Amino acid sequence: MTELLQTLTTTIAVGSLYALLALGYTLVYGVLKFINFAHSDIFVLGAWTTFTAANVLTDRLGINPTQSPWWGAVLILLLTIAVCATVGYLIERFAYRPLRKAPRLNVLITAIGVSLLLQNLGQLNGRVTVATDKDGRPTATLPFGSTPRSMPPLLPDLVLNETVLSQGTLAGGTQRGLVKLDQPLTMLDGRTYRIEFTRTADGQPRREVLALTATAGTFPPGTDLATQPRRSPAEVDGLPYSLIRSPRVPIMLVDVVIVAVAITLMLGLEFLVFRTRLGRAMRALSFNIENAALMGINVNAVISFTFVLGTALAAAAAFLYPLKYPGLNQPAHQIWVLLGLKAFIAAVVGGIGNIRGAVLGGFLIAGIEFFGTLYGDKLFISLGARPGLGTSLADVYVFSILILVLLVKPNGLLGSPVKEKV
């Protein structure tokens, strides 16, 4: 049951990212009826822009990377959206608009070319250093370079549903690595326990965490309890502490922020498209561009706005992604291509051109990926296969559901067939 709930929380968080990215595909297709294959590279640009802006913020303002203020995250999000939206507008204006009446194949090839251009520009060796660490070594450059990086934390690594069991005063144990609590402790099997306290080191207060390594059981006050890392009795004696028990299914602050931001943007997009004049203009272009122009709609402006809106959603997903997965691969790495393909599959499965379908497809693809990994491995092990085989087939599950949906419902789960007069 614990694995099921943990997989469900991961599915919701990652599905929100897939849905945001899929919305960019479906918006452009809904208006222009072609796939913008450079969309996933806008996402990569947004992720690396987030990384660069975070390092510049901590470097120029002298902020500890592990203690970034909340307004810094908001500022970086807005900057990432601005950069990606600008690039999206330039791509539409100079790459796609001249080919608007050209054969679809020309536009497709151009989209692939723009994608390759963004990939290769991004991984050029950095020429300009924009941020350094305390030792003067560069932490962020422009262009981004071909070296994988680790995203500095913009949000605290908090578990929202953990329990503070008690607070009191620590005492040093009988030897190094042992501590004594002044209150009784009952440790349950399958749960982790830790002690948090603040001690002075090198004249500065330092927050420390000690994990209790004792087995399950009940311990009276004054019992020696083993910890990791190990501290000498003098280092912890007399310090106020908090005893914290981890939940069976942790709910991380990062996941809650991802879901909250994604839902807010999805609802905002729904309102924009179906409740505003601009949204009606977008839907009119989706029906027939020529007729929309005859009705007085500024076609170029609406199409440019659609591109900007789609890239802004990709930028928001790009900002959220490294918060959950801090390791950033080089801009041309295949993992980015695969991530873009999964978002594209989400849009197709849900019904390309359908906003609600893109959201549904995002959560469905994430569910297939993570639940397939969880139960697929158990199934293959029960059949005598080596452990890990089911996990390695996660992408196979995703592409299989694409084939299945297209065979049964070619227009996607929420898509509708397009009728053309002849």
- What would the pLDDT profile of 137-166 be if each residue is shown by its tens digit? 888 889 998 889 999 888 887 889 899 999
Per the prediction, the chain carries an average pLDDT of 89
pTM, two decimals, is 0.90
Q: Which residue has the tokens 């939206």?
A: 85
Domain residue spans of the chain: 2-154+251-408, 163-245
Is the torsion defined by CA of 132, 136, 142, 144 positive or negative? negative
Q: Measure the CA–CA gap between 351 and 353, rounded to whole angstroms.
A: 6
Peptide bond into 143 cis (omega under 30): yes
Where on the phi/psi map is residue 190: left (φ > 0), alpha (ψ -120 to 50), or beta? left
Q: Would you state the pLDDT for residue 353? A: 87
Residue 303 has pLDDT above 50, yes or no: yes
What number of other Cβ atoms are within 10 A of residue 229's Cβ?
A: 9
Residue 17 has pLDDT above 50, yes or no: yes
Q: What is the mean pLDDT of residues 200-229?
A: 87
CATH, domain 2-154+251-408, list 3.40.50, 1.25.40, 3.30.2010, 1.10.3470: 1.10.3470
